[in-house]
Amino acid sequence: MNAPHTRFDLAEDRSASAPPEARGLERDEVRLLAAGPAGVQHATFRDLPAFLNPGDLLVVNTSGTLPAAVDAVRDERVITVHFSTELDDGTWVIELRAPGGPLLDGRAGERLSLPAGAVVTLREPHVAGAQRLWRAKIEVEGEVARYLAKVGRPIRYGYVPRAWPLPNYQTVFALDPGSAEMPSAARPFTPELVTQLVSRGVLFAPILLHTGVSSPEAGEPPYGERFRVPATTAALVNWVRDQGGRVIAVGTTAVRAIESAANPGGLVTAAAGWTELVLGPDRPARAVDGLITGLHTPEASHLLLLEAVVGPELVQRAYDAAVRREYLWHEFGDVSLLASR
C-alpha cells in the first residue's frame, strides 16, 4: 500500500479527551482550519458560511452510530467485543479488544459469552492473513442492532478516559443506524448552522455509508463498507459540477461513497452495495472538490484520501498549521475544510 506524503509529529496532548460541550463549547465552536489555493485560515466552525459559496454542495452521511462495544467473557476474563460491520449473510465483522489494544489471538470456532445469553462464535479472519478482525456468528434473540441498543455502549479509545452517552456520538444528519464509529466530520453541524447555510444558497445532499471500526495499524488500508448514493444525490452532484459549483464532502465516508459512484470522467450515478475503493496516487478524486474532515493521525490511510482530493502539498500545509496552532485531534476535536479550488 502507498504511504502518504504528509509528514508531521503529533504530541500526545493533542487528542481531544472529551466532547467540546464538556469543555464549555457548543458543537459548532470547535476550531476550523480552512485551507485552499489562497492559503490557510483559522476560524471556528460556526464561521463555515464565510468559506462556502452559493451553489456549493455539501454531501452528508446519514449513517447513525451504534452502541457497538459490548463486554464479553473469554476464559473467565472480561474483554470487549467491537461490532464493526453486518455482512449480507447475517454474520458480523468484529474486533476483540483489551484495554491495551486489539487482541490478535482469536481462534476459529472460539465461543464468547455476551450479556443476556448472547453468544459470539468466531468463524474466520475477515482479512486473509490478518488476526485483528473476525467474521463471527452472533446468537442473540431478535435483531443485533436492537440487542446493541440494550446492552452496548459507544466505542471509545484510550484518549477518551470516561464514557459519554450515545447522543454525544450522533450527528445532526444521523437517520440510519449502522456505523460502528461516528462519522465525526459532521459532528460540529447544528440545526441552526444548517439553516444558515441553506438560507445562503449552500446545497445539501445525502449519502449513506456505514463505517466500521477504525484501524489502529499504521498503513492498514480501509476495508469494504456498505454504502448508498441515491439517484437524486447523483443528479445534484452532476448539476452542481456543470454549474461551476464545488462538491464538498462532509467526511472521508462521504468522499468514499461519492467517488465509488463516479465514472472516470467524474459523472456520478446512483449506486449501492459494498465499496472497496481506496483513494490515493493511483486513484485521485474525480467528482469531489474538497472535504470537511477531522484531523488524522500520522501515517493514517485517511491522509492518502485527503491527498487524492486536494493534493499532498495542500494537506502538508494544513497539517503544519494545525500542529503549529495546537489544534485538537480525533472525533471530539477540531475540524478542517480542505478545498482544491
Rounded to an integer, what distance in angstroms lies between the CA atom of residue 268 and that of residue 245? 15
What does the pLDDT look like over 105-141, one tens digit per residue? Answer: 999 999 999 999 999 999 999 988 888 999 999 999 9
pLDDT of residue 127: 85
Give the three cell numbers for residue 90.
447475517
205-261 pLDDT, tens digit per residue, is 999 999 999 865 545 567 899 999 999 999 999 999 999 999 999 999 999 999 999
Predicted pLDDT of residue 217 = 56
Q: Which of 311, 60, 26, 23 is nearest to 209 (CA)?
A: 60
- C-alpha to C-alpha distance for 32 and 60, rounded to whole angstroms: 18
The 247-250 sheet, strands edge to edge: 39-44, 31-36, 335-339, 290-294, 247-250, 57-61, 203-209, 225-229, 271-275
Q: How many residues does the chain have?
A: 341
Cβ neighbours around 300 below 10 Å, total: 19
Distance, CA of 58 to CA of 204 (rounded, Å): 5
Q: Say how far apart CA 34 and CA 48 lie, in whole Å.
A: 9
CA pair distance 92, 75, nearest whole angstrom? 22
Low-confidence ranges of the chain (pLDDT < 50): 218
For residue 192, the SS3 value is helix
What confidence score (pLDDT) does residue 219 get?
52
pLDDT at 220: 59
Question: For the CA atoms of the chain, what is the radius of gyration?
Answer: 20
